[in-house]
Every structure is written in structure tokens, then in C-alpha cells.
A and B are shown apart, each in its own frame.
Chain A
Amino acid sequence: MNIRKIAERAGVSVATISRVLNHPDLVSPETRERVYAVMKENQYTPNWFARNLTQKQTRTIAFIYPSNDSTFLQAVADGVEIVALNKKNLVFLCHTNGTAEMEREYLELMVQRNVDGIILFSSRLPQEKIEQVAGLGIPCVHIGREGADTERKNCYINYIDAAAKLTDHMIQLGYQQIYLLLDSMLVNEADEIKEGFELAASKAPTKLETDVYVADRSMQGGMLFAHRMIQAGKMPRALITSSARQAFGVMKAARLAGIRIPEDLAIASMTDSSVSTLVDPPLTAVDRPGKRLGMVTARMLFDCIENREFATQNAQHVELLAKLAIRKSCGNRKFIYELFE
């Protein structure tokens, strides 16, 4: 028995049922009684409603995330907070520095504080730990694709698609030598980026020369990488970096070495930055829907917290797509202005 069937049998709309449950004062007494009668007759208990009445909630959620050093993470946190505030909830922001120890510590603290639910961003904890929390009746929703084979609810950006799109864009520009620079901090995303890169490369019309390197995600990481490549005479014609800051570092090193961008070295990044349009030439980058990621994840969490009947029917995984912000560093000359593709 679901809310729709109740509505049907009572001869009213689902919205009316919703009102009877949430704001009975807004419904005429006859309708209200009729709906109650149909519910009773069909032994229908709206779980989410019952739970709100019976269970003490703290109206707090935790957002545990690896690093707060990017505008992207700020956008995700922003999205989480918007939904939480819409639900009159507060968010604990817990920054783990990307370590499993701090993540575990925060998780335990949050459980002690009786949060109603937890969002874990790129969690490094083993599945048993997660299940232990779930066993306490505290719902968790994950950001990131990992654990997709488990019972987890998660929301993620499709990095395979994003990397393939960006690589394909470079191939379309005619480059036959394209290297990929991964981020040493990332694990799962790096695998996806590599997969997308290789997927697009395998579909290239002509044979592509590719190689994959790893560096720290900072500007320093990009610079060191570029210095080494230049010294070894191995700098490729085109490079895709994992972070915008790596790209800025490469650009700086290239400038010092008299390498022109994009004429000698075309560059594009898997993440965007607020200063991408300020560097010269402006950086072509993947624009990720950070705020949407935060909002969708928070909604999935609140669906569990409110234990809505429809939360269980919903997909366990929600996938989001990123866009390309095509600027000039990739060697694009086709579009005069910045173009989101």
C-alpha cells in the first residue's frame, strides 16, 4: 500500500494526503476523516510521519570530507548546507586531511553527538566500519563512486565521461601526443580519469602517443613535474592535468623555459578554478557541478532520515555529468569566447 493508492481509494490527490499528514488543519474535516478511514481500512502507516513523531531527532547532520582547499569542495559544502537549512538542520563540517584516521575519529565523534545522518566524501574507511554506523540506525550517503557494488547510497560525478570528453576535445584539436598527469592524493577518481583518458585515446582516428604521470595536486607539484619533463626533453605536445593548480604550475615552468602555450604545449585540466580565466592563456577545464553534487547527496540523506516510503524506491546511485569550459590553453581557435560544452 502506498500513498498514491490511498489517494486513489480516498478519491483525493496525493497532495491532499500529504496535507492531511503534515497540515491537517488545512484540510476540510470531511476529507480528513475520509482519508483517515481509508488509511485505517488499508492498514497504512506513513513511516516518515510516524518516525518524526516517535523518534527524537537532533536535526544535525555531519559532512565528513577530505580537503577544503578547493572551490569545488566549497561548492559541495554549500549545496549540502542549502538543503540542510531548507530542512531546518545544521551541518557539522569535518575536514579529515584525506586520512582514514581522522575520518574514523570524526565519524565516532559524530555518532556520539547523535547526528541524524552522515555524508562521507571519498571515504577511506573499510566497509565494516561503515556498516557498523549503519547498524546504529544512522544513515550514511557517500559522495564518490567507490563501493558502488555494495548497498551504499551514493552520488558521484562521472569522471570517466568527463575525462573522455576532455581527451576527445584534445584529439579533435589534432594533437597526436597527449599525456595525462594524475593527482597523487586521489585514488578512485584517478582511476576513473585514467579510464576515461584511455577510452577516448582508444577511439582516436589516428594512433595516439599517450603516457600517464603522477604528481602532487599543488602548483608546486605541477611545476616540479614540468621542470623534470623539460629537462628530460619529454614534454608532450598536449597535456591534461588532474588539477587546475597543477596546470598553473606547468604553465609557469613552461614560461620560464620559453615554451609557448598553446603553440608548443597545449594544456587542459580535469578541475576548474576561479582564476582559470585570469591566467594567460585562459585555462580549458572540466567544470564540475559541485553545488548540485552536495544538494543531491543531502537530499538522498534526508530521504533516509525521514525514512520516506519513496526513499527506498529511489535509485541508490545518482550520477552527475560535468561540462567542459573550453577556453584558450588547449589551443582552441574555433570558438572566440569561452564555451561550455
Chain B
Amino acid sequence: MADLSVKLGDLELKNPVMVAAGPWTRDPASIQRYVDAGAGAVITESITMDANQASRPYLYRNGEQIFNTKLHSTLYLEQWEELAAGMDMRDCKLICSIWGSTVTEVRYLSNYVQRLGADAVELSLYAPIGSRNQSMCTSAEHIADVIRETMDAVDIPVMVKLPYEVSFFPEVLQAIYDAGVKTVSSIDALRGISGVDIETATPNMPTYGGYSGTPIRPVALATTAMLRQYTPFYICGCGGIQNAENAIEQMMLGASAFQFASALFSRGERLIRDTVNDLQNWLDQHGYRSVEEIIGLALPRMTAFEAIPIRPIYAVAEKECDRKDCDLCRQGCIYQAIEYVKGKGYRILEDRCEGCGHCMSVCPENKIRLGGIPPVSYRKRN
């Protein structure tokens, strides 16, 4: 049996399955359900000095796209304290997410949650919801101050929740690292509006929401890969993860652990149990001895854009096709390199094809592949 335990900065998790901060971890009773389901760590919804009233409704769903306008925990500190006493974390780590507007507020809160029994603090420096003033990410210097004060106030590890936007600023990442943070959770929900009812010219939601769900998974994967390549942080991959397979993708691009978030709206705590099992089985079937072996495994196979070799390939039809009803390849070809000839079916015009790969991706029957060398006339023209 492969060993599932992972090291996450100064934390040791029994497995890399985490539950992200969000309305699903709004109170100790909810957290207990994920603990009982076998999660390696659970992060509380962001705890603040004043419990926010949640606007209602605060969840907007459009297929796989999920939007929320709930900012922070609606429980008072005293309620967290009272309820947390009845919690049994066993071998699961409790991470308390906190938000405050000033250094002193964050300092007070981090100390408070340490007393609640938190194994780590996660600083929420920014939220996709609410005004810009709520954001602590005003400058690298300020962020470093907040982190240093927090570290000084507690003796448990301090993690940072990184929004997608911040992952692009080397000076901010450097400041966070220099201040002593070893672990980041990335990414936070994106800022989004689900749509506009054009008949009444009314947005589908009254304000910006946190946009999460399957569609943001590619963004999260790219951020993990980028952070892993450019920074020494331990990464908790988060964003659109739906199952063990998605989680393995995250880990192969460099995450040491991963967080479930809006997927819990679909499957609840069963998702945790299933993922732990599926991950264990997959690792065993593939002969891995430890889950840590797969961290960053796919990274060496990534190539910098600049280093991608330019190959003279073009589309080749592997099978004949006469499905005029489909027509996706022809319609989508911006080089007009695919034509339909009545009675003969589809034909690829090799001298026009630039080998972009669109037709190959779009063909529902996988009849097209990329290959071959362009005809002589094509090469001459260039």
C-alpha cells in the first residue's frame, strides 16, 4: 500500500486530501463531517472579528460554473470557540483561515485561533468579493508586515491563500517567502459575473462573485505549475478539482496537497472518502510507494513556449468521412484547408494546412491526426 502522508511545510498530513476554506466549512459541525470522512486537513471558512451577515442568495450556479457572494464566516469568535470544544479532529489537521483589515486585527485573530486548537493559520489577503479596501494586497511591503506580525503572534505555521492575480507578481511572492511562509494555497476563486439577462439588462447576480468550479481548473493547474517552477513554496492546489484524477493532475504539476472546494456542492463529504480510496488504489495499481513520488512528475515534460520545436506537420485524414451533418472540421478551419466534395466526402488541402491541430481536437470520431511532411510546393512557397 502506497504511503499517502505528505509534508506540507511544517505540517505533516496523513493524506493530501484537504477541504478549502468556504461556506462548506462554516462551522465545527460541518468540519467534523470532513474529518470523519478521512480528510488530511480541513480549513475553516475565513474567521473575522465581526461575523458577516451572508447576503441571500449567495450561490449562483450555471452548469459547472459556480459563483458565490459569501465573504466570510457568519459565526462570532465566541461561537467558534464554544463549538470547537466539541470537535474531535483526531489525526486530521485543523487550519483556520482568517481575515482582518489591519496588522493588529490579524495578529489578534491568529492568536485567538491558535487557542482554538488550530494546527496552522491561513491568511486570506484578498477576496474576489467586496470592495478593494477589503484587500490586504496593497503592497508587497504591507503583506510582509502582516505575515511577520502573524508569525510573531503564534507558534503554528502560517500559510497564505494566493489569488490567481497575485501569483504573477514575483516581488509579492518573494515578500511572502522572505517573511517566512512555506506553504501557499492556490488559487482563490476568480472574480466573476455569471451573466446578464439582456431582455431586462439585469446582471444575473447583484455584485461580483467568487467564480469557481470545473471551468477554472486549467487556470489552477497552470498556476500550480508556475509556482512550482519559480518559487520554493509547498503548494496546496485548489480550483475546480472534482475527483482523484484531477487531484493527481494537480500533484503531478507540483502540488504537495490539494483542496476540494465547490465540488463539495455536488458530492458532499462522500467526495473525501471516495478520493482517499481512489487515490490509494491508483497509486497501488501504478506501483508507487508514496504519494510524494508523483509531486511534480509531469513538470519535466513541460516545455517553455520558446523552446517548442517547430515541426513541419499538417493534418492527415486517417479515415474517409462523409458526415456532412457534422462539418465541425471544415467550419472551424481558419485556413480554409478543408473542403467537402459531394460524393467524395471531406478532403484536407495539404498545401493550405498550417498544422494548427484544431480539426484534430474537434473531430468527434478521431479521424484526423497530425503528421506527414508538407508537399514540395508548400515548402517552396515559403
Contact = CB atoms under 8 A, between A and B. Distances in A.
A295 interface: yes
B76 interface: yes
Given A18-B117, A319-B102, A13 B131 contact: no
B117 A289 contact: no
A109 interface: no
Contacts, number: 95
Interface stretch (B37-45, B83-91, B247-255, B317-325): B83-91
Nearest to B103: A319
A19 B83 CA distance: 11
Given A314-B108, A341-B132, A295 B49 contact: yes
B303 interface: no
Nearest to A165: B133
A319 B105 CA distance: 7
Contacts of B119: 13
Contacts of B107: 314-315, 318
Contacts of B108: 296, 299-300, 314-315, 318
| Residue among B102, B104, B119 with max Cβ neighbours from chain A (10 Å) | B104
B50 A319 contact: no
B133 A15 contact: no
Contacts of A22: 85
A291 B132 CA distance: 20
B115 interface: yes
Contact of A18 (B79, B112, B115): B115
B78 A19 contact: no
A217 interface: no
A15 B104 contact: no
Q: How large is the interface on A (under 10, 10 to 19, 20 to 34, 35 or more residues)?
A: 35 or more
Given A4-B114, A158-B102, A292-B49, A323 B78 contact: no
A68 to B, nearest CB: 20
Interface string A66-83: 000000000000010011
Contacts of A313: 111, 153
Contacts of A19: 85
A26 B50 contact: no
A82 B53 CA distance: 14
A341 B133 contact: yes
A320 B102 contact: yes
B313 interface: no
Contacts of B166: none
A82 B76 contact: yes
A320 B103 CA distance: 9
A313 B114 CA distance: 12
A340 interface: yes
B86 A26 contact: yes
A13 B105 CA distance: 25
B143 interface: no
A83 B85 CA distance: 18
Contacts of B10: none
Given A13-B119, A313-B153, 18 more contacts: A3-B115, A4-B155, A13-B94, A15-B84, A15-B116, A18-B85, A18-B115, A26-B86, A86-B76, A158-B102, A289-B50, A315-B104, A318-B105, A318-B108, A320-B101, A320-B102, A321-B102, A340-B131
